[in-house]
Amino acid sequence: MTTPALLGAPVPAPAAQVASPACDAGLTGHFDLFLGVSPPATQGGRILVDVNDDFCEQFLTGKQIVPGNLNDFGGGPYLTDDPGWFMDPGQLLAQESLHFRALGRLRFWDIARGQWTTQVPNGEHVRLFGGVPLDVFLASRDDPSLLLPYESGTIFTVNGIQGPVEAGVDLADASGGIHTHLDFCLQDGTGDCAQRRFGTPAQGAYLIELQFFSPAQAGGQRKYRDSPAVLVALANGLDTAQFQEALDALSAPPRAQSTLQTRLPGAGVLLLSGQE
C-alpha cells in the first residue's frame, strides 16, 4: 500500500523530463524495436513500444520513429526485415500472441520538395508480411481462400490500408519472450511484392504507422491494452544525409512562418514546412 503524503510536507520537485534521442539515419542495420508490457503478463497491462528509448519521437504526437533501409544487404533491393520485434522474457505468458494493426496511410518523403507528402510518383505501395491469426487459420480448414489475403501481405497506400489490417507478429516462447523479423517490401504501381516483382519505386523515404496488440483473453475479455502507435520510416536509395533530413523533418518543430512563404492569388499566404 502506498503511504499517503503528510500534509504540510515539502513537495518534491517534479522529475526531470528525459529528452527523446535524436533521430539517427545511420541506424539501419540488423536491429530491433524493443516492446514490453506494464505490468508484465498481467491483465490490464499496457503493451509498450521502444522501452529502451532507442528512437526519436515525432514532434507534437510523441510517436516513436523507427528507421529502416529497404536496400539493406540482408534484404536485397526494395526489401528488408528490419526493424525486428523483441520482447524480453516474462512480458507475456508462453504461447500468447502478439499482433500488429496497420494504421493511417502511406506517406512519402519527396527529396526535391524536401517534404513529407501523401502523394507518390509511381503508385508506390509498402507491404508488410505478417502471420495468419489463429482464428483465421482454424477457419481456413473449411475455407482455404481465407489465407489468400495474408499471402499478399498488409498493403500501405496513400489511400489507406489494403488487405489484412491486422496480422500476427509471433507467439511468445516458453519464457514469455518474443524475437522475430517480418518482411517489408516496396513496389511501384506495376509491381507485386508477393511475386517478387517490384517495378521501379521512386527514390525517397516511405512512412507507415503500426500499433501492437494481443488477442489473449482473461476472464472472458481482452487481457492486454493496445500499444501506442509507432512510425516506421523506410529509406529507398537515400544516403545517410538525405535520410537524416527526412527523419529530422518528422521530429523537429515545424518551420516558423517567416522561413518559407508562398503567396497565392486571392488566397493569402500558404505556409510550407517539412511536414504535410
Cell 524480453 belongs to 88
> Does the pLDDT value for residue 1 go beyond 50?
no
Mean pLDDT of 247-252: 92
> Does the pLDDT value for residue 274 go beyond 70?
no
> Does the pLDDT value for residue 259 go beyond 90?
no
* 54 CB-near residues (< 8 Å, 6+ apart): 21, 27, 33, 34
**Rg of the chain in Å (alpha carbons):** 21
Cell of 76: 536485397
Give the strand order in the sheet containing 32-38. 46-49, 32-38, 84-87, 178-180
Q: Give the per-residue pLDDT at 204.
A: 97
At 26-70, the pLDDT tens digits run 765 678 999 999 999 999 999 999 999 999 999 989 999 999 999
> Does the pLDDT value for residue 10 go beyond 60?
no
pTM for this prediction: 0.84
At 84-133, the pLDDT tens digits run 999 999 999 999 999 999 999 999 999 999 999 999 999 999 999 999 99
> Does the pLDDT value for residue 16 go beyond 50?
no
Distance CA 229, CA 102 (A): 9
More confident residue, 76 or 262: 76
Distance CA 192, CA 73 (A): 21
Instruction: Evaluate the omega torsion of the peptide bond into residue 149 and state whether it is cis, within 30 degrees of 0.
Output: no
Distance CA 247, CA 72 (A): 18
How high is the mean pLDDT of the chain? 86
Distance CA 119, CA 182 (A): 26
Cell 507478429 belongs to 169
Which runs of E-coded beta strand occur in the chain? 32-38, 46-49, 56-57, 64-69, 79-80, 84-87, 97-110, 115-117, 125-129, 154-157, 160-162, 166-171, 178-180, 183-187, 204-213, 217-218, 221-222, 230-236, 261-264, 268-271
| Percent of the chain with pLDDT strictly greater than 70 | 82
More confident residue, 7 or 43: 43
